[in-house]
Amino acid sequence: MKNFKLKRLLSLAFIGCFTALSAPTAFAAAGDTIANTATLSFDVGASSFTLESSPLGNSTTGGGNGTSTDFVEDRFVNFTVAEVSLATETVTAGALAQVQTFTVTNNGNAPQDFLLAAIERANGTLDPFGGANDSFVPANVAVYVETVNAGYAVGDDTDIFIDELAAGASATVYIVADIPAVADGSVAVMTLVAQVAAGGAAAVEGAAITNDDNGHTSPAGTYSNGGTGVAAGAANNIADDPATEQVVFGDAAGDIDSTAAAGAASNGQHADSDSYTVQAAALTLTKTAAILWDPVNGNSNPKAIPGAYMTYTITIANTGTASGSLTTLADTLASTGPGVGGLALDPDFVDGTAAAGALPAAIQATNTNGIGESFDVEHGGGSTRLDPVSCTAAADADGCDAGLAEGGIISIDFATLMAAEGAYTDGELMAGETVTITFNAIVQ
């Protein structure tokens, strides 16, 4: 056309979401209407005009004569389940309410509810952390969502589905189970499966979304601690409708699906696994006796005659794979009657001074505790506790009490004697460690 001079300015400005592409990404929410209008500036001769676009075409110049090109942003379902500790959960046989921790993160573009299921895997399933294969079934398995403070607490964390999880947000979920009486080293593999569900109503469990609009479906499942059953979805494969919010599953394949089959991508589910490993404290209690001295032979081949000193050694060894928490030890010095074949505690075990008279210097030289200290306590097996520890027979706060008379009762309080120190809790005897308690008794 003669009236158009190509040398003259011809500019095209796109107004709407296209202008934002060079800026930091800010996603619209599912269901939002995205509206765009293109405006053309052009000259005809000496006159300048603008022309706005329309989906059906617009030839009327001037502002306000065009119509925006609109579409509704579709719902993108994308989320992950992730086990938190990245290690097996160490438990003891018979322990109750043992916890595995997961996070569920909504990577989609709309708030969603999520239904939750804990699936105990079949015997022989590989431990995700390289331990022994699955070999037992935990009892009273339940799933709860963190609702109050960090860390699972009975009575606080009672929600059984994730409610209105915002886009970009995460929720903490716990599998809680009781451990039966099984052998040391036994393993149970557990998997948390999350199923996307409709959001929109606070404190109301949304209905499972079991299909998208691209032919993808969710398998059947049971959720909310057995309270919600969901049928498998029916395929729904329809063309894009710019005026309608449609659903697109974009989740990655999880460990398994809600039927315990292998996980699949774009099925409205995701899953991750954890394991329980039973580690037991196997404690062995050994008590030995050795004649130290007698008033006739001294320390040269002594015999257990009246007035002789007997050294008792009590050893507690943890040969298991988990710590044990020692509480108390009681030992009654045998007696068959006053002065007849009985024993009385030496109140000064280590320095050898006793009511019956001092032990020979050669025997005293083997002792390191102070006067009045009746017990010597030492740790072994690689223990990093500070040693040695000594304590008196007096009724005081040192963790050792004993009656000095014949037939007296020895009482050891490990929470006091082995108080928390470094990595140790009160009374803790770690796997592979020993604690030895030594004292003298006088033969009556």
The per-residue pLDDT for range 228-254, each reduced to its tens digit, is 999 999 999 999 888 888 999 999 999
CA distances from 127 to 124, 185, 366 (A): 9, 12, 52
CB 137 within 8 A of CB 188: yes
In this prediction the pTM is 0.67
- Could you read off the pLDDT of 283-295 as tens digits, one per residue? 999 999 998 888 8
Task: Report the relative pairing of strands 170-178 and 221-223 from DSSP bridges.
Answer: unpaired
Peptide bond into 388 cis (omega under 30): yes
What is the rounded CA–CA span in Å between residue 161 and residue 113? Answer: 7
Q: What are the tokens at 119?
A: 């699936």
Of the two residues 168 and 12, the one the predictor is more confident about is 168
Q: What are the tokens at 41?
A: 């500036």
* Residue 64 amino acid letter: G
Residue 394 pLDDT level (bands cut at 50, 70, 90): confident
Give the pLDDT of residue 32.
72
CB 10 within 8 A of CB 91: no
Q: What are the tokens at 261?
A: 């089959």
CB atoms within 10 A of CB 154: 10
The gap between the terminal CA atoms of the chain, to the nearest Å, is 131
Task: Report the relative pairing of strands 269-278 and 89-91 from DSSP bridges.
Answer: parallel
Across all residues in the chain, what is the average pLDDT? 86
Burial class of 295 by CB neighbour count within 10 A (0 to 12, 13 to 18, 19+)? middle
Alpha-carbon torsion angle 320, 322, 326, 329, nearest 10: -10
**Residue 12 confidence (pLDDT) above 50:** no
Task: Report the relative pairing of strands 373-380 and 11-15 from DSSP bridges.
Answer: unpaired
Please name which of 136, 137, 158 lies closest in space to residue 147, comparing C-alpha atoms: 158
Which residue is associated with the tokens 């020993």? 434
What is the rounded CA–CA span in Å between residue 345 and residue 441? Answer: 4
Burial class of 327 by CB neighbour count within 10 A (0 to 12, 13 to 18, 19+)? exposed
Q: How many CA atoms lie within 13 A of 280 on its CB side?
A: 14
Residue 18 pLDDT level (bands cut at 50, 70, 90): very low
Backbone angles phi, psi at 20, to 5 degrees: -95, -5
Q: What are the tokens at 65?
A: 């004569």
Which residue is associated with the tokens 């394949």? 253
CB 39 within 8 A of CB 15: yes
**Residue 428 confidence (pLDDT) above 70:** yes
CB atoms within 10 A of CB 372: 16
What is the rounded CA–CA span in Å between residue 69 and residue 58? Answer: 12
- Share in percent of the chain as helix, strand, coil (round to 5): 5, 40, 55
Mean per-residue pLDDT, 196-209: 95
**Residue 219 confidence (pLDDT) above 90:** yes
**Residue 73 confidence (pLDDT) above 90:** no
Please name which of 79, 81, 197, 189 lies closest in space to residue 141, comparing C-alpha atoms: 189
Helix (H, G, I), strand (E, B) or coil at 145: strand
* Residue 153 amino acid letter: A
CB 81 within 8 A of CB 145: no
Helix (H, G, I), strand (E, B) or coil at 182: coil
Which residue is associated with the tokens 């989740």? 251
Looking at the DSSP assignment, which residues form a beta bridge with residue 321? none
The stretches of 322-438 forming alpha helices (DSSP H) are 361-364, 414-417
What is the rounded CA–CA span in Å between residue 443 and residue 310? Answer: 7
For domain 76-278, the question of CATH label 2.40.128 is answered with no
Delimit the domains of the chain by residue range. Answer: 11-73, 76-278, 283-443
Which residue is associated with the tokens 């009985």? 342
- Could you read off the pLDDT of 113-138 as tens digits, one per residue? 999 999 999 999 999 999 999 999 99
Give the pLDDT of residue 187.
97
